[in-house]
Copies of this chain bind each other. A is one copy, B any other.
Amino acid sequence: MNPEALDPHPALPPDSGSGSGPPVGLGFVREAWYVLAWDHEIGASGFFTRTVLGQALLAYRTADGEVVVLEDRCPHRQAPLSRGTREGDAIRCGYHGLKFDRSGHCVDLPGLEGPIPLRVCVRRYPVRVHRRWVMVWMGQAHTADPALLPDNLSCEHADWRYEPGYLHYETAWELIADNLLDFSHLSFVHAQTLGGSEQVARIRPHVETLPRGVRVSRRITSVPAPAYYRPLWDYTGLIDRWIDYDFLLPGILLMSSGACRAGADPMDDSAGIRFHSCQALTPETATCTHYFFQESHLAWQGNDQTTRGLFEGLLRAFSEDREMITAQARNLDPHRPMLALHMDSALMRFRARVQAAIQAEG
């Protein structure tokens, strides 16, 4: 991408004179893939449970290695199926013994003679293991569209190395999306980790609307390197940085970023470093959120210790975010809209995308 092509001063959002709407409560896009888990979280035996969009889900791996995702609720008296037992690839409820196969159909109903009515079944969710992300379709099963799986390329790619991350937030997903859509906070929340300079906030990013989200690009020149880079590149001179990412429905961040010696050619990896990051927000409920993340460095730069050091720095920085966002969430005045400012351009465009998608679902 040519940095010169970026408009450094996009117009203020059109409605910036008024508030930017309620801070939370947008709702959920349902017709979408969500990250349920990292692939390794779902073992060869037993059950894995996680709540997504307020729905209790049960995942397990069949004998042939496939991941099955069912609602974790027996249709009979709503006990969690995860308190039951596995019988091969089927599961038996631990309360009254109803047995369901991997498709969710009841195949044993103790005490009933004759055929089992079809209505005795558990909802099954479409699922894809997509480059180590176990993705579940939360909309209607027949609309599940593999073309909408995110391009989380560095999650499984020989050129990239990372450690997988997960954080649980006790805040609504909207506030975390807002955070990821306005990197001016790097200068203040992450002064000692990812930021390193007030210039990140003082430079206006280029913001572009995409069919399913927004694209944000930042160029920051002649600044000191942030502490986060050190395990990979302990350079003490001034550097040029770039940060380019797409933030896509329902809440996926795909980012290319990097830095080089000030004035060097950004394409020359010998003069700097590059990252690729995949992050995903999966609402647990309206007020709690799962956060999956990784940031990869180039596989030929550094070793295991580098990977670990970068991960620890990332985790430190993302904990800074969580502290701030949690404090923000507790401090929200539900009766007052937020004050829209120039740095909210990307987040307001994304919120509009979310609202349109929810409206389209009817």
Q: Which A residues have a C-beta under 8 Å from some C-beta of B? A: 9, 23, 56, 72-73, 75-80, 83-84, 92-97, 109-113, 119-120, 178, 182, 184-185, 187-189, 198, 201-204, 324, 327-328, 331-333, 336, 338-339, 341-343
Select A97's contact among B72, B201, B328, beta carbons within 8 Å: B201
Contacts A77-B178, A83-B327, A110-B198 known; 20 new A-B pairs at CB < 8 A: A75-B339, A76-B338, A77-B328, A78-B333, A78-B336, A79-B331, A93-B188, A94-B188, A95-B188, A95-B324, A96-B182, A96-B188, A96-B201, A97-B188, A110-B184, A111-B201, A111-B202, A111-B203, A112-B342, A119-B339
**Least CB separation from A184: chain B residue:** B96
**Closest Cβ of chain B: how far from A25's Cβ, in Å?**
14
**4 closest A-B pairs (Cβ-Cβ)?**
A110-B201, A79-B328, A75-B339, A97-B188
**Are A96 and B328 CB-contacts (below 8 A) given A110-B201, A112-B342?**
no
CB nearest neighbor in B for A320: B94
Chain B positions within 8 Å of A342 at CB level: 111-112
- Determine whether the beta carbon of B203 is less than 8 Å from that of A94: no
- 5 A-B residue pairings within 8 Å (CB atoms): A78-B328, A79-B328, A94-B188, A96-B343, A110-B201
* Residue pair B78, A338 in contact (C-beta under 8 Å): yes
Write out the residue numbers on chain B whose beta carbons fall within 8 Å of the beta carbon of A333.
73, 78
Complex CA distance for A189 and B79, rounded to whole angstroms:
12
Oligomeric state, in number of copies?
3
CB distance from A100 to the nearest CB of B (A): 13
**Contact yes or no, B324 A79, CB < 8 A:** yes
Give the distance in Å from the alpha carbon of A198 to the alpha carbon of B327 in the complex: 50
Q: Closest Cβ of chain B: how far from A169's Cβ, in Å?
A: 15
Instruction: Choose among A23, A333, A336 the residue with the greatest number of B CB atoms under 10 Å from its CB.
Output: A333
Docked-complex contact A95 and B201, CB < 8 angstroms: no
Cβ contact within 8 Å between A111 and B184: yes
- A83 to B326 alpha-carbon distance, docked (Å): 12
- Name which of A73, A94, A332, A339 has the most chain B CB atoms within 10 A of its CB: A339
Q: Which residues of B contact A92 (CB under 8 A)?
A: 188
Which of chain B's residues has its CB closest to A328's CB? B79
**Complex Cα distance A223/B332, Å?**
55
List, in ascending order, chain B residues with CB within 8 A of A201's CB: 96-97, 110-111
Report the separation of the CA atoms of residues A94 and B189 in the bound assembly, to the nearest whole angstrom: 6
Instruction: Assess whether B327 is in contact with A79, with CB atoms less than 8 Å apart.
Output: yes
Shortest distance from the beta carbon of A172 to any chain B beta carbon, whole Å: 13
Determine the chain B residues whose CB is within 8 A of the CB of A185 once the complex forms: 95-96
Task: Choose one: B78, B331, B343; the contact of A73 (CB below 8 Å).
Answer: B331
Among A79, A92, A201, chain B packs the most CB atoms within 10 A around the CB of: A79
A327 to B: closest C-beta gap in Å: 5
Q: Which residue of B lies closest to A204 (CB)?
A: B111
Q: How far is the CB of A361 from chain B (nearest CB, A)?
A: 17
Q: Say whether B331 contacts A184, CB under 8 Å.
A: no
Shortest CB distance A36–B (Å): 18
Task: Please name all residues of chain B whose beta carbon is closer than 8 Å to the beta carbon of A187 when the two chains form the complex.
Answer: 97, 110
Q: Give the residues in chain B near A328, CB-CB below 8 Å.
A: 77-80, 95
- How far apart are the CA atoms of A92 and B191 in the complex, in Å? 13
Bound Cα distance from A79 to B324, whole angstroms: 7
CB of A342, distance to nearest CB on chain B (Å)? 6
